[in-house]
């Protein structure tokens, strides 16, 4: 299994350009997440989705939009990129926690390294 696949792996944008980061998982997970990681800031949640057709804002949603196209795919769009959005972006997926104790692990993609100049 591929797990969580993110594309592209690297991207350079000019200020004001738009782009969509793609994420797909093949584990039949309900929950999917988008994070950004900046030095010293840890992983900050941008948006998450509990199921197909639902999305919720996380800690730092401004400047981003998301789309849960189906159960497998969760995309992140930058409509007008800004230098402050230079970061490493991670997509993750997980099951819903189960009372039996399962569904607690989140699986991450390999990240997209985005530079906005």
Partner 1 sequence: GQSLEQPSEVTAVEGAIVQINCTYQTSGFYGLSWYQQHDGGAPTFLSYNGLDGLEETGRFSSFLSRSDSYGYLLLQELQMKDSASYFCAVRVYSGAGSYQLTFGKGTKLSVIP
Q: Which residues bind partner 1 (CB under 8 A)?
A: 31, 33, 35, 40-45, 48, 50-51, 54, 56, 58-59, 90, 92, 94, 96-97, 101, 104-111
By C-beta, is 77 or 96 nearer to partner 1?
A: 96
Q: How far is CA 74 from the centre of its chain?
A: 7
By C-beta, is 32 or 116 nearer to partner 1?
A: 32
By C-beta, is 1 or 101 nearer to partner 1?
A: 101
Structure tokens at 29: 């997970």
**Residue whose C-alpha is closest to residue 87's, from 13, 5, 33:** 13
Tell the smallest beta-carbon distance from residue 2 to partner 1 (Å).
13
Assess contact for 114 and 89: CB atoms under 8 A.
yes
Tell the smallest beta-carbon distance from residue 8 to partner 1 (Å).
15
Beta-sheet pairing, 112-116 with 10-13: parallel
Tell the smallest beta-carbon distance from residue 86 to partner 1 (Å).
16
Asked whether the CA dihedral 72, 27, 31, 81 is positive or negative, the reply is negative
By C-beta, is 14 or 40 nearer to partner 1?
A: 40
């Amino acid at each position: 299994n591929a797990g969580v696949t993110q594309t592209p792996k690297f991207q350079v944008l000019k200020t004001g350009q738009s782009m969509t980061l793609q994420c797909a998982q093949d584990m039949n997970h309900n929950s999917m997440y988008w994070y950004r990681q900046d030095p010293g800031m840890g992983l900050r949640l941008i948006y998450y989705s509990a199921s197909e057709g639902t999305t919720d804002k996380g800690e730092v949603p401004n400047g981003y939009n998301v789309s849960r196209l189906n159960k497998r795919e969760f995309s992140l769009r930058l409509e007008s990129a800004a230098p402050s959005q230079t970061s490493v972006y991670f997509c993750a997926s997980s099951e819903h926690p189960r009372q039996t104790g399962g569904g607690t692990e989140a699986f991450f993609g390999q990240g997209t390294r985005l530079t906005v100049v």
